[in-house]
Structure 1
Amino acid sequence: MAQETITVYAREEPPDRWDAAIFLAGPTPRSPEVPSWRPAALAELRARWRGGGRLVVFDPEDRHGIQDDYTGQVDWEERCLHLADEVLFYVPRDLDTMPAFTTNVEWGMWHDSGRAVFGAPPGAPKNRYLLHYAEKHGVPTATDLPGTVAAALDRIGAGAPRSGGECAVPLALWRTGPFQRWYGAQRAAGNVLLGARVAWRFGDQWGLRVRVRVTAEDRVKDGELVVFRPDTSVVVLYRPGPTLDETTVVLVREFRGPGATADGFVHEPPGGSGPAGTDDPPAVALAELAEETGLELPPGRLRAYGDRQVNAAMSAHRAHVFGAEVTEAELAELRSAEPQGAAAEGERTAVEIATFGEIRRRRLVDWASLGMIAGVIEPGNGAGPG
């Protein structure tokens, strides 16, 4: 698609495809004698857009200067804010002509969305509080309009072609591996994404409400929440026993907020997610094993057992499961291990060792962990009594 920039003014219908979308958030003049900053922003965006495709800019000012539909305006702004890949806040506040009271509310709603940039002239009053939260949440900032536009386009990069319901998925989520794997599976099944809206974001975790045409059933499923987070890598350490129930398994005990167990702790095989962008499950597995138990193993000791979703009714992420048989000496080392974990991140883990029979009878682990353990140690699957 040829490079182009399209402006969608207040209450106008967005197009059905684009590579990137920006919302121009900030104060709007209420008097024709006061010039708006948005025409200059549009000119900057047209001059700087190098994505090679279609850039859509949502401008909440009316094309003809008419402001006579308050509810329609608010609804349009809410819709287009959610459609935007980046919300460009520029706040040349003037307490007499552009006090930006509504902008303050919008900033409070979008500053931690992961898709906001903030700019304001150094002399604009009453922006200190906004700048404080920009710094706190890592929002790119600038002191002039060209710098603010550049910050937004820098994060957008080349964009990504999307159409229909795909346009409702912001680039920050669209580009992640977890989303693309989920969406690839949906398309392979013949399903169609009709719409979506981000419900929440926390770091590298997203909650997305989706509207999907389920082609095989000829119906539309609406409103379900899909959680996207990095995949996990899990290591089941075991020592075979005479029977399956006598096979010894290594667990870690850790406090996790969602845990609702009798002792208040979660009991599970060691594992976790790597840093953002990591796509090397065996390396993540070995790193998490060392971090949570203190045991360092060479890569050749791991055996891969594949990956599956952990909770397919809610989260799209997968657990990559590995197994490793340990020696009696290593079991002894693990039994005497001091508490481990990434203390700087609030993680504290303790090694627990139990037989598979004890794990089942004492209900030590959740169903997902029980399935991972059983999948590794079951007879004929490379572990357990043969």
Structure 2
Amino acid sequence: MPGTVTVVHATDAPPPRWDASLFLAGPTPRSADVPSWRPAAVDLIRRHWAGPGDLVVFVPESSTGAFTADYDDQIGWELRWLSAADQVLFWVPRDLATLPGLTTNDEWGWLKDSGRAVFGSPPDAAKVRYQREYARNHGIPLADTLDAAVRAALGRIGTGAPRADGERHVPLLVWSAPEFRHWYAAQRAAGNTLRDAGVVWTLRVSGALVYWAARVSVAIAAEGGRIKDNEVVVGRPDISAVVLYRRGATVRDTQLVLVREFRSPGCAPDGYVHEFPGGSGGFTDPARAARAELAEETGLALAPERLRAHGVRQLAATMSVHRGHVFSAEVTAGELARLTAAPGPHGSGDTERTWVETTTFGELLDGGRADWATMGMAAQVLADVDGR
């Protein structure tokens, strides 16, 4: 049996928990003789909602249908729940005389690339050519009927996920991200409470979420409930890295294999990042990702049994929740020579281009090219293989 559908009208408080949320954005009638399209949308939502949980539908109109000219409270209400909704259904039956939808243009502007927008308009709607073309060219669900728009929005929601209180402000797109789930599980295990949140931005590639940033307000249990609400949490997929080494007479003499790659945030004197081969690789198995990234960035293919795992840690705990899975393998003299003789470029064209570099741990310590995360990976691996 499908769950309930609860309609929340302008300025009304939503329920303290839900499984899914949908905001109905679009032109609002300014006079009583112009009918609203939203009651028909709510009827369609009730008909098509098949999720087992509770769906909240935000309707930015009063329950009586009356329009309030002084609506400062409504503006705040709309901005808050537009930001929180799992999906925002834009239905724009634009008529320049009766339903101009000027505010809708602004809402579409800041939400169209959020991964949470669906756009629909009837064939005779005025001044929607730009919005429709943008949606078509950027993979945003596009509909010609209200029924199709509702189906598209509910299809993206799926069955939703239970959330309560501050959790309601994390849309499904981010809530379902593995990196968010790991971060939030750690906060819950520590006894902390998510009081409020807001997704600042997301970056998607081919429809898949790659980066996200969320402003959070957390009550810290170990500090008597002190509220921390002045930071942004950034997420991206976890990485797997491979430390290739060849033992030297001392730890400082141990040879290491790095890759040099231009990454836009890099601050080294040459503008490049000098790190161990690695990346997310698109695999759920960290060891498989490690071998794939190693082959792509250095040309060296390793058998699975040659990889040694050294654990997983967060990489930049003051900002990002993503973690690094670290592996190592000792290379032969021949492999090291081949890597040195064919430094590159390797990678996948313009998006990734790497060159192999060999160095010693001592040079890595003294040179200042590698970041602290890379230094930490090297220290962990060398401590483990040295055995002392």
Which TM-score bucket, shorter chain as reference?
over 0.9
One-letter code aligned to 1:63: S
Q: What TM-score results when the alignment is normalised by the length of structure 1? A: 0.96
Corresponding position: 1:293 with 2:293: no
- Name the SS of the counterpart of 2:188 in structure 1: helix
Specify the alignment match of 1:361 in structure 2. Answer: 366
Most deviating of 122-131 and 33-42:
122-131
In the alignment, the residues of structure 2 paired with residue 372 and residue 246 of structure 1 have an alpha-carbon distance, to the nearest angstrom, of 17
Alignment of 1:107-256 (within 5 A): 107-203=108-204, 204-218=210-224, 219-256=226-263
Superposed displacement of residue 384, structure 1: 4.4
Corresponding position: 1:263 with 2:264: no
Task: After superposition, give the CA deviation of every residue in 1:146-197 in whole Å (9 maximum; x if it has no partner).
Answer: 1100111111111111101110110111111111111111111111111101
In the alignment, the residues of structure 2 paired with residue 385 and residue 170 of structure 1 have an alpha-carbon distance, to the nearest angstrom, of 47
Specify the alignment match of 1:16 in structure 2. Answer: 16
Superposed displacement of residue 2, structure 1: 7.4
- Name the SS of the counterpart of 2:346 in structure 1: coil
Q: CA RMSD in A?
A: 1.4
Corresponding position: 1:79 with 2:85: no
Specify the alignment match of 1:330 in structure 2. Answer: 335
Task: After superposition, give the CA deviation of every residue in 1:44-89 in whole Å (9 maximum; x if it has no partner).
Answer: 1111111111110000011121414321121111011012000001
Specify the alignment match of 2:47 in structure 1. Answer: 47
Superposed displacement of residue 133, structure 1: 2.1
Specify the alignment match of 1:29 in structure 2. Answer: 29
Superposed displacement of residue 363, structure 1: 1.4
Corresponding position: 1:60 with 2:60: yes
In the alignment, the residues of structure 2 paired with residue 356 and residue 384 of structure 1 have an alpha-carbon distance, to the nearest angstrom, of 13
One-letter code aligned to 2:292: A
Specify the alignment match of 2:317 in structure 1. Answer: 312
Superposed displacement of residue 293, structure 1: 0.7
| Contact 1:259/1:265, CA 8 A, preserved across alignment | yes
| Contact 1:117/1:152, CA 8 A, preserved across alignment | yes
In the alignment, the residues of structure 2 paired with residue 186 and residue 172 of structure 1 have an alpha-carbon distance, to the nearest angstrom, of 19
Q: What TM-score results when the alignment is normalised by the length of structure 2? A: 0.95
Task: After superposition, give the CA deviation of every residue in 1:280-315 in whole Å (9 maximum; x if it has no partner).
Answer: 101111111111111111111111000000011111
In the alignment, the residues of structure 1 paired with residue 241 and residue 217 of structure 2 have an alpha-carbon distance, to the nearest angstrom, of 32
| Contact 1:242/1:385, CA 8 A, preserved across alignment | no
One-letter code aligned to 1:314: M
- Name the SS of the counterpart of 1:282 in structure 2: helix
One-letter code aligned to 1:11: T
| Contact 2:2/2:49, CA 8 A, preserved across alignment | no
One-letter code aligned to 1:239: R
Specify the alignment match of 1:341 in structure 2. Answer: 347
Superposed displacement of residue 223, structure 1: 2.6
Unaligned runs of 5+ in 2: 205-209
In the alignment, the residues of structure 2 paired with residue 384 and residue 240 of structure 1 have an alpha-carbon distance, to the nearest angstrom, of 9
In the alignment, the residues of structure 1 paired with residue 281 and residue 147 of structure 2 have an alpha-carbon distance, to the nearest angstrom, of 36
Provide runs of 4+ in structure 1 moved above 3 Å. Answer: none
In the alignment, the residues of structure 2 paired with residue 100 and residue 352 of structure 1 have an alpha-carbon distance, to the nearest angstrom, of 58
In the alignment, the residues of structure 1 paired with residue 278 and residue 96 of structure 2 have an alpha-carbon distance, to the nearest angstrom, of 54
Task: Assess, with a 3 A threshold, how the Cα gap between structure 1 residues 97 and 66 changes in structure 2: closer, same or farther.
Answer: closer
Unaligned runs of 5+ in 1: none
- Name the SS of the counterpart of 1:361 in structure 2: helix
Match of 1:274 among 281, 287, 299: 281
In the alignment, the residues of structure 2 paired with residue 314 and residue 198 of structure 1 have an alpha-carbon distance, to the nearest angstrom, of 15
One-letter code aligned to 1:299: P
In the alignment, the residues of structure 2 paired with residue 385 and residue 375 of structure 1 have an alpha-carbon distance, to the nearest angstrom, of 11
| Contact 1:310/1:317, CA 8 A, preserved across alignment | yes
Identity of aligned residues (%): 56
| Contact 1:272/1:288, CA 8 A, preserved across alignment | yes
Superposed displacement of residue 360, structure 1: 1.0
In the alignment, the residues of structure 1 paired with residue 137 and residue 221 of structure 2 have an alpha-carbon distance, to the nearest angstrom, of 44
Most deviating of 95-104 and 207-216:
95-104
